[in-house]
Amino acid sequence: MPEIASIKIIFTVFAIFAWSRAFIRFQKRLMNIKELIFWSILWGGLTVLVFIPGKTDFLARLLGMKRGIDAMFFFGIIVLFYAVYRLYAKANNLEYELTQLVRKIAIQNTEKNNQPKA
Amino acid sequence: MILIPAFNEEKVIGSVIETLPKNLPGINTIETVVVNDGSSDKTAQIAKEKGATVISHPINRGLGGALGTGFEYARRNNHDLLITFDADGQHNAENIKAVVKPLAEKKADVVIGSRLVNPKGMPWYRIVGNFGLNLFTFLFYWVWTTDSQSGFRGFSRKAFQEIRIASDRMEVSSEFFHEIGRLQLRMIEVPITAIYTEYSLAKGQRNLNAFKIIFKVALKRIFPK
């Protein structure tokens, strides 16, 4: 029996779990078939990739690093930074729109209350 | 129009409104508008009793949000001049004349009432904090002011028609200078005296807030919308 890195097993278990959540959403009609196919391909594909040896070495050499895993960390962190930035931008935008809404309501109420005086 | 953004100021809003001038040289009518920024106390009722127009935000949005609403109201009601004035009693209504004068004479688009021309009474740590923020305002917006955090400002019609406020909270003070720079508005400063009571000191900005403000403004500079 060949030695399999435990992280590959852990990831596979996680991938099955994540996919099952998508499947449940599909059963509850919260997700359509197209989305389910997308997620199935994604998690299935990732699981397959995890078992291919040396797949990140190419990346590592490109970046001038020794280990493929280092390259994965590097990209992972970049992706995280970008995701956080996008979240921050979204939150900011929401605050702005909320204020616009509150402003509209407030002014409408004031103008409504001022009518009878005129 | 005198714009007073207010959040839970029932203790002093009444007396603040009372001290406002009823007449000013060269001005036809003065409408006092209090933007009640989601107060949970009697701020709105008291302001209304004292004769102010009250615009109430259903929820609290912050100083910037309240000012933005006031600006919008001024545009919709065809006002000629807009003065912003604090609700906590830090500002002296006697200074309103001095702030209005350059606007009425068309000598400036924006008038900043500055406490630091004569910083008597300001606690030393606030003087230092304010100077830091002034420096920061200059570095980011190329506009020098001796009081970047002053809530006592005057705006000509052109100014309040064109200024766009997007900040919700206290970084709005810095945003005004961004707009002044962007729209090339003529700005002058007028000395004002601040009334420091235990109440107004507690309500004012803490120096620690300065870092939060600098962080927010820097972020907005790097990632505009």
Segments making up each domain of chain A, as ranges: 1-53, 66-118
DSSP state letter for B83: E
Q: Give the nearest partner residue to A106 out of B55, B168, B225, using CB atoms.
A: B55
Q: Which residues of B touch A105 (CB under 8 A)?
A: 58
Q: Give the nearest partner residue to B65 out of A85, A99, A107, using CB atoms.
A: A99
Picking from A101, A43, A83, the residue whose alpha carbon sits closest to that of residue B61 is A101
**Which residues constitute the domain of residue B85?**
2-222
CATH number at residue B120: 3.90.550.10
pLDDT, tens digit (0-9, with 9 covering 90-100), for A59-96: 677 777 777 777 778 888 999 999 999 999 999 899 99
This model's pTM is above 0.80: no
pLDDT, tens digit (0-9, with 9 covering 90-100), for B138-191: 888 888 888 888 889 999 999 999 998 888 777 888 889 989 988 999 999 998
Count of Cβ atoms closer than 10 Å to residue B46 Cβ: 22
- Residue-wise over A57-77: b if at least 16 C-beta within 10 A, else e? eeebeeeebeebeebeeeeee
> Which pLDDT score, from 0 to 100, does residue B32 have?
92
Chain A nearest-CA distance from B72, in A, is: 9
Residues in chain A: 118
- Chain B interface includes A69 (CB < 8 A): no
pLDDT, tens digit (0-9, with 9 covering 90-100), for A4-25: 778 888 888 999 999 999 899 9
For residue A39, the number of C-alpha atoms closer than 13 Å in the C-beta half-sphere is 17
For residue B97, the number of C-alpha atoms closer than 13 Å in the C-beta half-sphere is 7
Number of domains in chain B: 1
Which of 57-116 (B) contact A at CB < 8 A?
57-59, 61, 64-65, 68-69, 72-73, 76
- Chain B interface includes A106 (CB < 8 A): yes
Block residue for tokens 């402003």: A103
CA distance A58 to A47: 19
Chain B nearest-CA distance from A80, in A, is: 17
